[in-house]
Amino acid sequence: MKAKGTVVLGVDPLIIHDDYHIEYHHSYAQDSPFFVGLSQGKLRGSRCSACGYTFATPRAHCMECGAPTEWIDLPLTGRIHTFTTCYYGGELFLEETPFTLILVEFEGINTLFLSRLKGCDPSTVRIGQPVVARFAKTPSFKVTDVWFEPTGP
């Protein structure tokens, strides 16, 4: 229950409790098909229509040459390019610690994809380890609708 009145935290200097809440109507705009794809068990990346550069994290225009990209389906298996296990985090994610972050590399794709690694002991994670994508059964339409699990050492 929200307190009525002002909570005073200190008097010299005078410090009060203050609060500010924001609700957004956040549009994924041109990236929307990626998030819809997650709800269908698909991991969608981009390929440049001009230079052929491929992006594991999608973008509607090529970062190298500026031409429009087309959607491609990424493989659902890849390898760990790098990793970390976070024991602290931003306030929003503090309750979820410890969690393991990985950058995933996919065969034949030029860039990487940031995700969480689940289903393993963090101390066993290593660069080059094969991983497979898993998808949330009930989508929340966030990038965390996909995560990865190891398929081998």
Partner 1 sequence: MRPVYMISGGITKFAKAHPRKDFRLMVKEAYDYALADVPRLTKEMIDGAVGSYFSDHFTRQLKAASMVQDYLGLCPKPSKRVEGGGATGGLCFQSAWEAIASGRMNCCVAFGFETMSRVNTWKGNEFIALASDTNFDFPVGGFYTGYYAMMVQRHMYEFGTTVEQMAMVSIKNHTNALYNPYAQKAKRLTIKDVRESPMVATPLTMEDICVMSDGAAVCILASEEVAQQVCHRPVKITGVGSGSDAMRMADRPRGKVILLPHESEADYRHLHYPGVHSFRGGRMAAKLAYEMAGITNPLEELSFVELHDAYTSSEIQTYEDLGLCRYGEGGQFVESGAPFMASIEYGLELPDQGRLPVNPSGGLLACGHPVGATGLMQAVFAFWQLQGSIEKHLGNDQLQVPNPKRGLIHSHAGTGTYITVSILEACE
Summarize as ranges the residues that interact with partner 1 (CB under 8 A): 10, 13, 15, 18, 20, 28, 31, 53, 55-57, 59, 63-64, 81-94, 96, 99, 101-103, 110-116, 122, 127, 142-144
Burial of 32 (0-12, 13-18, 19+ CB in 10 A): exposed
The strand pairing partners of 70, in sequence order, are 47
Cβ proximity to partner 1, 67 vs 93, nearer residue: 93
CB of 47 to partner 1, least distance (A): 14
- CB 115, min distance to partner 1, A: 6
Look up residue 129 and give its DSSP letter.
Answer: -
Quickly tell me which residue has 């819809």 as its tokens.
36
Does an H or E element contain 81, and which?
A: strand 77-86
Residue number, 64 or 149, with CB nearest to partner 1: 64
Q: Going by DSSP bridges, is the β-strand pair 130-135/113-117 parallel, antiparallel, or unpaired? A: unpaired
4 versus 26: smaller Cβ distance to partner 1? 26
